[in-house]
Chains A and B, each alone.
Chain A
Amino acid sequence: MQQSNRLRPFFENITFDRDDNELILNFGPQHPSAHGQLRLMLHLQQEQITKAHPDIGYLHRGMEKMAENMIYNEFMPTTDRMDYIASSSNNYGFALAVERLIGLEVPRRAKVIRMMLLETNRLMSHLFWLATTALDIGAMTVFLFAFREREYLMDLIEDYCGARLTHAAVRIGGVPLDLPDNFIADLKKFLDKLPENIKDYEDLLDTNRIWKMRMENVGVISKEMALSWGCSGIMLRASGVEWDIRKEEPYELYDEVEFNVPVSDKGDNYARYKLYMAEMRESAKILYQVLDMYEGTGPELMAHAPQYISAPKIDIMTQNYSLMQHFVLVTQGMRPPVGEVYAATESPKGELGFYINSQGGAYPYRLKLRAPSFWHTGILTDLLPGHYIPDVVSIIGTTNIVFGEVDR
């Protein structure tokens, strides 16, 4: 019997005394294509998987517990660390939940800026997905191309909020900053070139024999399975369910912009890949429209709700009562009304939900983070059996899981 709790060689990949030819393989937690800290316990017959147990928790930081011990504004930067590929969408999800709880109306300019942030984040996330998945499959060129484009977007976000990865670019009640001078022109320049870039990726991949062999008819998720496993976002749409929260339960200005929701009924890796590409084009379309909306909005960036949101800086510096309220809001935090809310948004990965139970205190009584990747990891239990080891890599790739979000 091996002693597992001492620092000495431990052969956990091999079970020695079995005669049924079954091999148990630990895929991860330190595997370059496991997209973070995923450990998969795979039962193998030859190269074929008979059973899969995803083991998660290696990145568990207890964000829900932390939220119970923080004031609402304090928690905002923590949400960055969930889906760190597109952190503004987490910030926004949380801000939206608290705003719905309080019943705040956000100024139009803040909405426009939020839309820009959300869609640039979607583009960043999809580009990152394409890059890493292609790299896992072996397409190094696509990785370099996609990262080049993503770099421009990160520079843009840096121009806006100063951070490249953990943006914290949204506040409860609005956004902290107005757009910098060249933001719109720069973003337009990027968007003008994006269709060419996407075409480059597609030229490299669409008819690529290796890509198609690794992607087509691999990891097929049926509609029933996707619904039952709580899939959302592209995982759901690739399986033939037309459900995009931006379209069905519009938030911010999504009801004012024109865009399509690409759907496929194949359910395999290739369908998901096609949807990612199509969604990038749709995001660009949305961004063009939002850029035009920016002109003609008023200067306000934060909602006016002195009980919950600090007054503008000019008021704080000139008016005594605003300063007092600001002091209380910073030191004690806002106290939303007693009640509960579940707010779902369409993050690049799927349905990102924040459930908040407030008891009227400065700290949430309970905050549940509904991260899409959690179930997209869970579905591997049912999805992987029957596939071969190389398919595991491409399936994990197209599920687009991010472990900051799975483990929270």
Chain B
Amino acid sequence: MRAYTPKDDVQKKPYYTDRYWVAPQVAKHDVSEDAVFAADLEAVKAKFDVLDAYIQVDQMVVMIKAEDNFGVIELLKNERDYTQLSEMSAIDWLASEEKFEVFYQMLSMSKRKRLRIKCKINEKESIQSVEKLFRSADWSEREMYDMFGIVINNHPYMRRILMPDDWEGFPLRKTYPLQGDEFAQWYEVDKIFGKEARDIIGPEIRDSARVDRYDTERFARLGHEVPFGADISNGEPDTPLVYQETEGVFMIEKFDAEKSVVISDRDR
């Protein structure tokens, strides 16, 4: 019987996991241990709901409601001096809880602190753009849309950024296979030559590690050259390599270890 593979997460899985393995946790510290973060958290708590907050690896993580994202980031920028949005993206939790987690990584240069704002949204839900506050979110949000299909409200230019505009599927979702789906297989053939050429050309081989021993169309075989497309399932002839230098080529000398000089000190 074929082994069961879950359809909602097609990423690579380890071939063996100890049944009694309990993964250790990275320590989460209470926010009150750090005075600066505690003050920031108080300011956020005064106006918005905070679902969870802790400090992990020296950075504060604050879980908020998705509809508050603009407000919280505005508050942190204008009142708490978090001057840069260094990074933002999403994590796909669709398989386990049917939600995306969006995170905003912020930096305060005056306080030398970094914190992460997080919120969860449903698959079809959209989220407010923070591009008005940080221009850097313009491209980050486009990338997030491109990779996860999370639509951003009030974004000035909501289009794909890394993938082609007419791409189907969202590559960083866990349901998207590493080598691409069927659409990806036919994308270039369809686009360049048209659908009618599918039979002639065939699907794109997207497994970069695939080597077909008998393929005489894509691989050169030095010392065993055969005509393009020849059938070599019954073996191939030996065609010894002949280098043109053996006859002597104009301006080119053969390497002679006796005459060559090794420069040990490269006159720096």
Interface pair A230/B56, CB less than 8 Å apart: no
Interface pair A66/B161, CB less than 8 Å apart: no
A368 to B89, CA, bound (A): 8
Interface pair A7/B24, CB less than 8 Å apart: no
Interface pair B16/A332, CB less than 8 Å apart: yes
The one of A5, A60, A193 in contact with B162, judged by C-beta atoms closer than 8 angstroms, is A60
A357 to B89, CA, bound (A): 12
* Chain A residues whose C-beta falls within 8 Å of the C-beta of B56 in the assembled complex: 339-341
The one of A7, A339, A355 in contact with B193, judged by C-beta atoms closer than 8 angstroms, is A7
Of the listed stretches A11-19, A23-31, A116-124, A358-366, chain B binds A358-366
Interface pair A6/B194, CB less than 8 Å apart: yes
Give residues 1-57 of B contacting A (CB, 8 Å).
11-12, 14-17, 21, 23-26, 28, 56-57
How many residues belonging to B are interface residues under a CB distance threshold of 8 Å?
52
Interface pair B112/A248, CB less than 8 Å apart: yes
Interface pair A337/B59, CB less than 8 Å apart: no
Interface pair A230/B134, CB less than 8 Å apart: yes
Is B214 in contact with chain A by the CB < 8 A criterion? no
Interface pair B266/A152, CB less than 8 Å apart: yes
Interface pair A229/B112, CB less than 8 Å apart: no
Is B259 in contact with chain A by the CB < 8 A criterion? no
Interface pair B171/A363, CB less than 8 Å apart: no
A256 to B25, CA, bound (A): 32
Interface pair A370/B161, CB less than 8 Å apart: no
Interface pair B164/A57, CB less than 8 Å apart: yes
The one of A62, A152, A248, A368 in contact with B109, judged by C-beta atoms closer than 8 angstroms, is A248
Interface pair B191/A5, CB less than 8 Å apart: yes
Interface pair B134/A228, CB less than 8 Å apart: yes
Is B123 in contact with chain A by the CB < 8 A criterion? no
Interface pair A359/B23, CB less than 8 Å apart: yes
Give residues 113-146 of B contacting A (CB, 8 Å).
114, 116, 134-136, 138-139
A192 to B134, CA, bound (A): 44
* Chain A residues whose C-beta falls within 8 Å of the C-beta of B138 in the assembled complex: 378, 381
**A66 with B178: in contact, given A56-B161, A342-B105, A370-B86 (CB under 8 Å)?**
yes
Is A83 in contact with chain B by the CB < 8 A criterion? no
A370 to B103, CA, bound (A): 13
Is A375 in contact with chain B by the CB < 8 A criterion? yes
The one of A225, A362, A365, A366 in contact with B14, judged by C-beta atoms closer than 8 angstroms, is A362
A360 to B17, CA, bound (A): 11
Interface pair A361/B14, CB less than 8 Å apart: yes
* Chain A residues whose C-beta falls within 8 Å of the C-beta of B25 in the assembled complex: 337-339
Is A189 in contact with chain B by the CB < 8 A criterion? yes
Interface pair A366/B92, CB less than 8 Å apart: yes
Interface pair A228/B135, CB less than 8 Å apart: yes
Is B85 in contact with chain A by the CB < 8 A criterion? yes
* Chain B residues whose C-beta falls within 8 Å of the C-beta of A368 in the assembled complex: 87, 89
A335 to B86, CA, bound (A): 27
The one of A103, A249, A357, A363 in contact with B91, judged by C-beta atoms closer than 8 angstroms, is A357
* Chain B residues whose C-beta falls within 8 Å of the C-beta of A355 in the assembled complex: 87, 89, 103, 105
Is B185 in contact with chain A by the CB < 8 A criterion? no
Interface pair A152/B268, CB less than 8 Å apart: yes
**A65 with B86: in contact, given A230-B136, A335-B23, A360-B23 (CB under 8 Å)?**
no
A70 to B209, CA, bound (A): 14
Task: Report B85-110 CB contacts with A as 1/0, cut-off 8 Å.
Answer: 11101011000000000010100010
The one of B11, B15, B89 in contact with A68, judged by C-beta atoms closer than 8 angstroms, is B11
A379 to B138, CA, bound (A): 10
A342 to B118, CA, bound (A): 13
* Chain B residues whose C-beta falls within 8 Å of the C-beta of A339 in the assembled complex: 25-26, 28, 56-57
Interface pair A227/B139, CB less than 8 Å apart: no
* Chain A residues whose C-beta falls within 8 Å of the C-beta of B160 in the assembled complex: 57
Task: Report A205-235 CB contacts with B as 1/0, cut-off 8 Å.
Answer: 0000000000000000000010111101000
Interface residues of B (CB under 8 A from A): 11-12, 14-17, 21, 23-26, 28, 56-57, 59, 61, 83-87, 89, 91-92, 103, 105, 109, 112, 114, 116, 134-136, 138-139, 147, 160-164, 171-172, 176, 178, 190-194, 266, 268
Interface residues of A (CB under 8 A from B): 5-7, 56-57, 60, 62, 64-66, 68-70, 100-101, 103, 152, 155, 186, 189-190, 192-193, 225, 227-230, 232, 241, 243, 248-249, 332-333, 335, 337-344, 351, 353, 355, 357-363, 365-366, 368, 370, 374-375, 378-379, 381-382, 407
Shortest Cβ-Cβ A-B pairs, 4 listed: A360-B23, A339-B26, A230-B136, A57-B162
Using A68-B11, A190-B268, A378-B136 as known contacts, list a sample of 11 further A-B pairs with CB atoms less than 8 Å apart, ordered by residue number in A: A5-B191, A5-B192, A64-B147, A65-B172, A100-B57, A230-B84, A230-B87, A338-B23, A342-B105, A363-B11, A370-B87
